[in-house]
Amino acid sequence: MLSKEEIASLIINSGQFSVRDVDSGEEPFVYSTGNRGPGYLMIKGLVGQPEILKKLTRSLAHRVIDEAKFDFIEGNATGGMIPGWQLRNDVSNLLGREIPFCYLRGSRKEGGHGELITGDQNNPLIKKGMNALVVEELVNYAKTTTNAAEEFRSAGYPVLNGACILFYDTAQARDRLKEKKVNLVSLITLPQLLDIAETGNQISLEKINSYRSFLMNPLEWQLRRQLVIPGGFDSKKPEDSARKAIEAGYKMKALTAEEALNMGAPKGKIGEGIVYWVKEE
């Protein structure tokens, strides 16, 4: 089983972990939420580096065998599907018996059986009442993890545990996992990864501290750098980051698409219809 230091080195040296020096002029990353920040982890990109992925899932297999209760493994589309399958292989090898596998689609299939879960129907190896282990490559806010747990529970499969290679370990995620009664087994957390990167001088201290600041308060990090922030799809009903900024006492203004683009909002998110807001001085 790999040490935390070995796990961190594999991830950092894989090229799938990047931290930008935004304060020195580098462009921040754009996240799926429309927010922006200094760091990005592409754990799912390790499918292109099978030896690294296998080393990580093999270590995770030891952890889930010791710490989790499950009868079969499921992978969440898309990032958790291949790591989940490889984890299934590793657990099967360690236990000396085949562990069933299925995956949760991103949306219900049109046509056919109209399934959302693929691999359990008409499968004599997976029966109602069996415990599912929800697997993702990375857990940030834990929403997809807990949503998957609820979906499997509704289908008649109890879920006690989830598993991932890397966990952001945010308060919001911990609260959500606790509320939904999902115990998460992770190989390494993002704070641990940053600590090891700092100790080994693998990433500059300025970048690490900026990322730590972002993780502590993503909203404040963006507002201090005069970045426009997303507020849902209605300029009169702010949601997400803009709503939180208003609740925190900031005076915010909704921008037109042109204004937002001129102030650096990501074009793709504007195209999706997301309304961006700016802090008024």
How large is the greatest C-alpha to C-alpha distance in the chain, in angstroms?
64
Q: Do 191 and 73 share a structural domain? A: yes
Show the tokens assigned to 30. Answer: 């754009």
CATH number at residue 89: 3.40.50.2020
Under 8 Å between Cβ of 74 and 84: yes
Tell me if the pTM is above 0.75: yes
Q: Do 50 and 150 share a structural domain? A: yes
CA distance 255 to 271: 14
163-185: pLDDT as tens digits: 999 999 988 899 999 999 999 99
Q: Tell me what pLDDT residue 106 has.
A: 63
Q: Do 136 and 51 share a structural domain? A: yes
Per-residue pLDDT at 123 exceeds 80: yes
Within 13 A of 140's CA, how many CA atoms are on the CB side?
A: 12
Q: Do 172 and 74 share a structural domain? A: yes
Q: Do 280 and 165 share a structural domain? A: no
Per-residue pLDDT at 108 exceeds 80: no
204-253: pLDDT as tens digits: 999 999 999 999 999 999 999 999 999 989 888 888 899 999 999 999 99
The residue with greater pLDDT, 43 or 1, is 43
Which residues span the domain enclosing 246? 228-281
277 φ, ψ (degrees, to nearest 5): -125, 155
Show the tokens assigned to 110. Answer: 């049109």
CA distance 11 to 7: 6
Q: Do 217 and 253 share a structural domain? A: no
Q: Choose one of 189, 208, 225: the last residue of a domain.
A: 225
DSSP state letter for 266: -
When pLDDT is averaged across residues 143-147 and rounded to a whole number, the result is: 93
Q: Tell me what pLDDT residue 109 has.
A: 40
Per-residue pLDDT at 65 exceeds 70: yes
- Tell me how far the alpha carbon of residue 251 is from its chain's centroid: 30
Q: Do 265 and 254 share a structural domain? A: yes
Exposed, middle or buried by CB within 10 Å (0-12, 13-18, 19+), for 75? buried
Q: Do 235 and 219 share a structural domain? A: no
Name the domain count of the chain. 2
The residues pairing with 17 across neighbouring beta strands, listed in sequence order, are: 41
Show the tokens assigned to 264. Answer: 């650096």
Q: Do 114 and 10 share a structural domain? A: yes
Under 8 Å between Cβ of 148 and 104: yes
Q: Are strands 39-41 and 17-19 parallel, antiparallel or unpaired?
A: antiparallel
Exposed, middle or buried by CB within 10 Å (0-12, 13-18, 19+), for 201? exposed
Q: Do 204 and 154 share a structural domain? A: yes
Q: Do 236 and 204 share a structural domain? A: no
Q: How confident is the model at residue 190 (pLDDT cuts 50, 70, 90)?
A: very high
Q: Do 157 and 242 share a structural domain? A: no
